Homo-oligomer: A and B are copies of this chain.
Amino acid sequence: MTIKDIAAYCDVSVSTVSRVLNDHPDVSPAVRDLVHEAIRKLHYVPNNSARSLVSSRSTAIGVVSRGVDNPFLSSLIRVLSREIHDRGYTMVLHQIATQADEVQAAAMLEREKKLLGVIFLGGRFNYTEDELRQLTVPFVCCTYTNTFGDLREDAYSSVSIRDEDEAEKAVRYLVDHGHRRIAVVLDDPTDSSIGQLRFQGYRRALTRCGLDYDPALTVLTGNYALSAVYDGICALLDSGADFTALLAISDALAIAAIKALTDRGRRVPEDCSVIAIDGLEMSLYTVPTLTTLCQPAEELARESVEMLVSLIEGTGSHRHKLMETVLRPGASVARLREA
Q: CB within 8 Å of B: which residues of A? A: 23, 29, 32, 36, 39-40, 43, 45-47, 51-52, 55, 59-60, 68-69, 71, 74, 77-78, 81-82, 85, 90-97, 99-101, 104, 107-108, 111-114, 130-131, 133-134, 226, 230, 252, 255-256, 258-259, 262, 281-282, 284-287, 289
Contact = CB atoms under 8 A, between A and B. Distances in A.
B69 A281 contact: yes
B39 A101 contact: yes
A104 B287 contact: no
B94 A81 contact: yes
A40 B256 CA distance: 35
A74 to B, nearest CB: 4
Nearest to A20: B100
Central interface residue in A36, A111, A131, A282, by most chain B CB within 10 Å: A282
A320 B287 CA distance: 40
A60 B284 CA distance: 37
B281 A259 contact: no
Contacts of A256: 285
A131 B91 contact: no
Given A69-B281, A282-B71, A287-B262, A90 B113 contact: yes
